[in-house]
């Protein structure tokens, strides 16, 4: 009965002290989520954008409309309407090692939080059971000297109440580390999907440039055969033949670099999808298989800071720095330690926990820093400086994000105008070349005039393909710059959904 009473008293005392500790104050600043830039307004650019871009005939020439305030779909790449692209991105998200690494680091951050919460929020309870054989000397034990066994069994409890909030601030910082890594996962998700889209567009562009170059080469080769015949009959000088051969050789020399770049793009797509470059089954992309999105949802500037994963990650780094100030502040205040033990020591195992062999203790201690050479104050100042650095980094991240969006929006407007001009130039160059070929056959113009027409058309045709690809690539860049729509995903990043809700002291109390 006496033993039960002491045990219950010990438990009640520890529980009361825990409740008192958890109800204490938390020193240091309470973190406040940064507001959106006050002067963000409703536009990303100094001058308003047009309601829609210019249009051009042919592939990728449809006008694009800027839909301000419209939500971005979570799977934004589906707007390109390419089943092969959709499947490749799914494969990349499942198999890419960078994605797997980011999710693993997120799980690590969660388990680190659980470990800290287990050590700091709850008392430590340790059981000990031991046996020893001893011999005492006659000089010290007298008639009781001899050889005997000693059996020990005890349970020890220790707890440090969180009177000044060091525990809460520590766990607040640990939770911020989890949230930071969660947004790093989102950033990896967004970067990976955007890289797959832009690399697929690059492959399509290179494939189109290669095809255009080969068509020009075939035309020049055909023209060369005619010139060679004319030279055999003495109708033209040898310089004309050499000029044509030189033109064919120059065009032919551009094919190998294009093939090399195309192969590199294919290899990059394989690696992004988590496959070796030599593995089969990779889809081939061409501009004709991709649809240029005509409606471009553009988030309001005030919403950008809540959507960009890099901004949210920077915010959580700022949050963690704020919590560290509280930890450094609490270290300057007293620390209370509570401990208790209950056990028994006997010369036979059967006597353990008999009334005559039991022992218990309760203890409380207080540690107050008195002199440490200014180390604790310096640690707090260092924490404040780290917060200032995190704050500056956060502002830099926000500024870069707004610049990123503004650059991309202007690029889309310029891309459309450039494609319009390039399509017109290519059409005129083709018309000029057709006319020049007819005139040359009739002897109306010199070969040099025809050569210039051929060179001009070849350059404008390849430039047209590049201008078409630029519209696709910058459209993907806009979705990436705006955050990718992850907040509209029903279940979040697959690995992130496994992360449980934070413990009670993950956020400000």
CA distance 364 to 332: 19
Q: Is the pLDDT of residue 308 over 90?
A: yes
Q: Stretch 50-67: mean pLDDT, rounded?
A: 92
- Which residues are registered as beta bridge partners of 343? 154, 359
The model carries a pTM of 0.84
Please state the φ and ψ torsions of residue 68, each to the nearest 5 degrees: -70, 135
Query: Which candidate, 338, 342, 393, places its Cα nearest to that of 366?
Result: 338
Question: Can you list the alpha helix ranges (DSSP code H) found in 96-165?
Answer: 97-121, 138-141
According to the model, what pLDDT value does residue 144 have?
67
Q: Stretch 117-143: mean pLDDT, rounded?
A: 82
Whole-number Cα distances in Å, 93 to 41, 313, 376, 383, 488: 35, 20, 46, 37, 17
Please state the φ and ψ torsions of residue 124, each to the nearest 5 degrees: -90, 130
Higher pLDDT, 278 or 207: 207
216-226 pLDDT per residue, tens: 888 888 888 88
Domain regions of the chain by residue span: 26-120+171-337+378-498
Which CATH homologous superfamily contains domain 26-120+171-337+378-498? Answer: Outer membrane efflux proteins (OEP) (1.20.1600.10)
According to the model, what pLDDT value does residue 54 have?
94
Query: Which candidate, 487, 493, 468, places its Cα nearest to that of 207?
Result: 468
Q: Is the pLDDT of residue 15 over 50?
A: no
490: which residues sit within 8 A by CB, 6+ positions away?
Answer: 74
Whole-number Cα distances in Å, 413 to 77, 195, 408, 475: 20, 22, 9, 10
430-486 pLDDT per residue, tens: 999 999 989 988 888 877 788 778 878 888 988 999 999 999 999 999 999 999 999
CA distance 362 to 340: 4
According to the model, what pLDDT value does residue 186 have?
96
Q: Stretch 68-77: mean pLDDT, rounded?
A: 92
Q: Is the pLDDT of residue 497 over 50?
A: no
Q: Is the pLDDT of residue 16 over 60?
A: no
Higher pLDDT, 438 or 509: 438
Please state the φ and ψ torsions of residue 27, each to the nearest 5 degrees: -75, 165
According to the model, what pLDDT value does residue 24 have?
56
375: which residues sit within 8 A by CB, 6+ positions away?
Answer: none
Q: Which residue has the tokens 């209370």?
A: 336
């Amino acid at each position: 009965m006496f033993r039960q009473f002491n045990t219950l008293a010990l438990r009640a005392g520890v529980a009361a002290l825990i409740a008192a500790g958890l109800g204490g104050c938390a020193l240091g600043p309470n973190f406040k989520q940064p507001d959106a830039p006050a002067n963000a307004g409703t536009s990303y650019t100094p001058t308003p954008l047009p309601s829609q871009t210019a249009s051009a005939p042919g592939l990728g020439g449809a006008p694009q409309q800027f839909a301000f305030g419209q939500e971005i779909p979570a799977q934004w790449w589906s707007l390109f309407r390419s089943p092969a692209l959709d499947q490749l991105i799914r494969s990349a998200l499942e198999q890419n090692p960078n994605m797997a690494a980011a999710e693993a680091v997120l799980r690590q951050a969660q388990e680190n939080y659980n470990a800290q919460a287990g050590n700091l929020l709850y008392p430590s309870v340790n059981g000990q059971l031991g046996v020893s054989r001893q011999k005492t000397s006659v000089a010290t034990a007298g008639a009781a000297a001899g050889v005997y066994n000693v059996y020990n069994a005890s349970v020890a409890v220790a707890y440090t109440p969180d009177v000044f909030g060091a525990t809460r601030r520590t766990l607040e910082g640990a939770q911020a580390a989890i949230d930071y890594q969660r947004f790093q996962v989102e950033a990896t998700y967004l970067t990976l999907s955007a890289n797959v889209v832009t690399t697929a567009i690059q492959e399509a562009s290179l494939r189109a440039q290669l095809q255009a170059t080969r068509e020009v080469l075939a035309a020049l080769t055909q023209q060369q055969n005619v010139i060679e015949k004319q030279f055999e009959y003495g109708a033209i000088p040898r310089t004309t033949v050499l000029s044509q051969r030189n033109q064919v050789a120059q065009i032919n020399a551009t094919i190998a670099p294009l093939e090399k770049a195309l192969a590199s793009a294919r290899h990059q797509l394989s690696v992004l999808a988590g496959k070796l470059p030599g593995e089969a089954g990779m889809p081939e992309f061409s501009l004709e298989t991709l649809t240029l999105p005509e409606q471009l949802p553009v988030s309001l500037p005030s919403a950008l800071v809540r959507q960009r994963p890099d901004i949210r990650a920077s915010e959580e780094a700022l949050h963690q720095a704020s919590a560290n100030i509280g930890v450094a502040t609490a270290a300057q205040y007293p620390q209370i330690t509570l401990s208790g033990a209950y056990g028994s020591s006997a010369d036979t195992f059967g006597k353990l926990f008999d009334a005559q062999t039991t022992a218990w203790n309760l203890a409380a201690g207080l540690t107050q820093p008195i002199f440490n050479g200014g180390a604790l104050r310096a640690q707090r100042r260092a924490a404040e400086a780290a917060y200032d650095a995190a704050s500056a980094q956060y502002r830099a991240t926000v500024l870069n994000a707004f610049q990123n969006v503004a650059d991309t929006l202007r690029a889309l407007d310029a891309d459309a105008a450039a494609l319009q001009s390039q399509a017109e130039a290519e059409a005129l160059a083709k018309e000029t070349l057709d006319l020049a070929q007819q005139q040359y056959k009739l002897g109306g113009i010199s070969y040099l005039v025809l050569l210039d027409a051929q060179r001009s058309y070849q350059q404008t045709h390849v430039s047209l393909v590049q201008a078409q690809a630029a519209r696709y690539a910058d459209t993907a860049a806009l979705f990436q710059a705006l955050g990718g729509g992850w907040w509209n995903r029903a279940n979040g990043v697959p690995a992130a959904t496994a992360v449980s809700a934070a413990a009670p002291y993950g956020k400000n109390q």
